[in-house]
A and B are shown apart, each in its own frame.
Chain A
Amino acid sequence: MTVESSRTVWSRMRRDWLLLLLGAPGIAAVLVFSYLPLAGNVIAFKDYQPYLGVIGSPWVGLQNFQILVDGDPAFRTALINTLIISLIQVVFVFPAPILLALLLNSLLSERVKRVVQSVLYLPHFMSWVIVVALFEQMLGNSGLLNTWLQGNGFGTIHLIGDPGLFKVLITSQVIWKDTGWGTILFLAALSRIDLTLYEAAAVDGASRLRQLWHVTLPGIRSVIFLLLVLKLGDVLTVGFEQIILQQQAVGTQASDVLDTYVYTNGVINGEWGVAAAVGLVKGVVGVALVLAANKVAHLFGERGVYSS
């Protein structure tokens, strides 16, 4: 039996060796740069010294995780900021593309719709450096808005560089960059809604608002759930590049999030073990949240990210 099956394995390998060979470079890249870093997480349990290397550094057990329990003030600030920003973004950023998609979908002119889409998708393809630069040029203390205000005898408004407004600023940047692009999945779902449902609703005397509530929203419900589940997995990941670029002006108290904390503590300050420990816990919690959110989606009768 084993001889038989090993012969089939061997013959299947001989049959498919070329497919395997074609896939090999890609598989190697995935192994080295997606899976090998998982193994690199062992330094969360070590006192990593760059000159000793990952393997040579001494084990320290759970010492690096102490910070999570002790409530180190810098870590606590980062965690709280992360949660606040995530909450703000679920409330303000998440619904924005839904509203825009509903608006675009209600347009009768296909041409207008296409032009607006082309314009609003564009910011998604700009790097964070460009977006931050554009915001500074427009809203900064010597930016377009303030030069205009001064030129017309008004005072200046400090929108950028004010720690109190930092979370508002980064939220508006996310909205500016990704709202248009975010509509793409909702518009696809909206275009699949059976038009006869609207006809039936209209015959039954449903107003446009009721049609929206009873036909349109149920039609995009599963997409909303899917994206919400994915978003939940990202609750601990907020705008790393975006924040790193703007952190200097407002200080860490207002702007530090878990990812920037990991970066500054690990790469800059050399607290490798602690940074890796925080990163590891963050990653595990993220995966757990996706799985949990997916479970909840199933309870609501939705498909979620994957069906079990």
Chain B
Amino acid sequence: MSSSVISRAAGRRDHRPAVPPPARRARRGPALPVRLLKGLVLLVCCAVVVVPFLAVVSTSLADEHQIDAAGGYVLWPTHPTLAAYRAILSGGVVTHALLVSVGITVVGTALSLTCTAMLAYGLSRPGSFAHRPLLLMVLFTLLFTPGIIPNYLVVKELHLLNSYWSLILPVLVNGFNVIVMRAFFMDLPADVLDSARVDGAGEVSVLLRMVLPLSKAILAVIGLFYAVGYWNSFFTAMLYLNDTDKWPLQLVLRTYVVDSTPLSTSALNVAGDVAPPQQSLQMAILVLSLVPILLVYPFLQRHFAKGILVGAVKG
């Protein structure tokens, strides 16, 4: 990295030493047309990602006139209005689904993170009783995925069908996350933890007072991964929940946006008011379902930059 910075800085200057150091020659930038082409390719890649989000957010904020004039979509709302959001958040189907999704995500993430951290800590001391078989047991789950049918049968036999627990318990502990967190715990300075133990601290207080505070970064990343998983889960809800009243936001999104079932005024709870255009309503539901991800994304992003995950994957 530093050598590329040096070579770039040096490349701009006119006076060069007679014999350029090899590092500079090796990493010197390519010719201008190549650089322009690269820039263009990356710009197109980014636009392909950004434009859909922009169009969706803008349309959800646009008023009826602009949507009609544009024929359905706007890329920039001229008179932004929150009418669509007010309509879907006034206590109808969408509001309910949003609360369900938030509830599942919060409860699920808290439970998953707790169980994962406890298991990872329990497995972080090589030589402890049954350490190896238990670790192998977790590792083997990475190799196979039980099919849809056997999963369904287990949930059914445990009488979890149609219960919110069916969305949480089957995905409570992810083997990969356990392995990543265990690797992180094992990298913590062992002598510090040992000295605490010598001073009479029990395992639980070592975990709570020392290990967890030292592991905030990995807890944040794994927690966010669990949260994104719970928030995004769609098929498990479709498979296990029969009551449409219990549907989380992703299923409501499917019904009203992917299958474009029109949102009736009864589903919106805006009787009397003039409902905003369907187009903005649909886009507003879509935005609601992606906003939480956009909110946590910068935090996740910060940790990718630190390379925590890649380091853990490597080891």
Complex contact A29–B115 (CB within 8 A): yes
Asked if A33 is at the interface of the complex by the 8 Å CB criterion, the answer is yes
Q: Which of A37, A120, A133, A259 contacts B45, CB < 8 Å?
A: A120
Complex contact B153–A37 (CB within 8 A): yes
Interface residues in A86-141 (C-beta closer than 8 Å to B): 100, 103-104, 106-110, 112, 114, 116-123, 125-130, 132-134, 136-138
A74 CA / B102 CA spacing, docked (Å): 39
- 0/1 interface trace, chain B 4-40, chain A, CB 8 Å (1 if under): 1101100000000000001101110110000000100
A100 CA / B305 CA spacing, docked (Å): 18
Residues of A within 8 A of B153 (CB): 37, 40, 43, 54
Q: Which of B147, B307, B313 contacts A262, CB < 8 Å?
A: B147
Residues of B within 8 A of A137 (CB): 52, 55-56, 73, 257, 283, 286
Interface extent on B, as a size class? 35 or more
Complex contact B207–A22 (CB within 8 A): yes
Q: Which of A75-83, A162-170, A196-204 lies at the binding interface?
A: A196-204
Asked if A3 is at the interface of the complex by the 8 Å CB criterion, the answer is no
- 0/1 interface trace, chain B 288-315, chain A, CB 8 Å (1 if under): 0110011001001100110101100110
Residues of A within 8 A of B157 (CB): 53-54
Complex contact B297–A33 (CB within 8 A): no
Residues of B within 8 A of A100 (CB): 45
Complex contact B170–A33 (CB within 8 A): yes
Asked if B189 is at the interface of the complex by the 8 Å CB criterion, the answer is no
Complex contact B49–A122 (CB within 8 A): yes
Tell me whether A22 and B314 are in contact in the complex, defined as CB-CB below 8 angstroms, given that A29-B169, A134-B56, A199-B22 are known contacts. Answer: no
Residues of A within 8 A of B146 (CB): 34, 37-38, 40-41, 283
Asked if B137 is at the interface of the complex by the 8 Å CB criterion, the answer is yes
Complex contact B149–A199 (CB within 8 A): no
Residues of B within 8 A of A130 (CB): 232, 250, 253, 286, 289-290
- 0/1 interface trace, chain A 196-233, chain B, CB 8 Å (1 if under): 10111111000010010000000000000000000000
Residues of B within 8 A of A248 (CB): 259
A31 CA / B173 CA spacing, docked (Å): 10
When C-beta atoms are compared, the residue in chain A nearest to B289 turns out to be: A130
Complex contact B1–A129 (CB within 8 A): no
A123 CA / B257 CA spacing, docked (Å): 18
When C-beta atoms are compared, the residue in chain A nearest to B255 turns out to be: A129
Total A residues in contact with B, Cβ cutoff 8 Å: 107
Interface residues in A151-189 (C-beta closer than 8 Å to B): 151, 176, 180, 184-185, 188
Complex contact B49–A19 (CB within 8 A): no
Residues of A within 8 A of B144 (CB): 38, 283, 286-287
Tell me whether A26 and B173 are in contact in the complex, defined as CB-CB below 8 angstroms, given that A126-B232, A195-B26, A262-B149 are known contacts. Answer: yes
Residues of A within 8 A of B178 (CB): 26
Asked if B90 is at the interface of the complex by the 8 Å CB criterion, the answer is no
Complex contact A176–B23 (CB within 8 A): no
Asked if B244 is at the interface of the complex by the 8 Å CB criterion, the answer is no
Tell me whether A276 and B147 are in contact in the complex, defined as CB-CB below 8 angstroms, given that A119-B50, A136-B258, A199-B25 are known contacts. Answer: yes
Asked if A275 is at the interface of the complex by the 8 Å CB criterion, the answer is yes
Complex contact A199–B143 (CB within 8 A): no
Residues of B within 8 A of A196 (CB): 23
Q: Which of A109, A127, A262 contacts B232, CB < 8 Å?
A: A127
Complex contact B154–A188 (CB within 8 A): no
| A225 CB to nearest chain B CB (Å) | 15
Q: Given A134-B56, A240-B235, list of 18 further CB < 8 A pairs?
A: A16-B130, A19-B128, A30-B141, A33-B151, A34-B175, A35-B137, A37-B153, A100-B45, A114-B305, A120-B46, A126-B290, A143-B72, A147-B72, A185-B310, A188-B307, A199-B25, A246-B258, A286-B144
A-B pairs with beta carbons under 8 Å apart, 8 shown:
A16-B128, A22-B122, A22-B203, A125-B293, A127-B234, A130-B289, A144-B72, A201-B26
Q: Top 3 nearest A-B pairs by Cβ distance?
A: A23-B122, A26-B119, A279-B147
Interface residues of A (CB under 8 A from B): 9, 12-13, 15-27, 29-41, 43, 50, 53-54, 100, 103-104, 106-110, 112, 114, 116-123, 125-130, 132-134, 136-138, 142-144, 147, 150-151, 176, 180, 184-185, 188, 191, 195-196, 198-203, 208, 211, 237, 240-241, 244-246, 248, 259, 262-263, 266-267, 272, 275-276, 279-280, 282-283, 286-287, 290
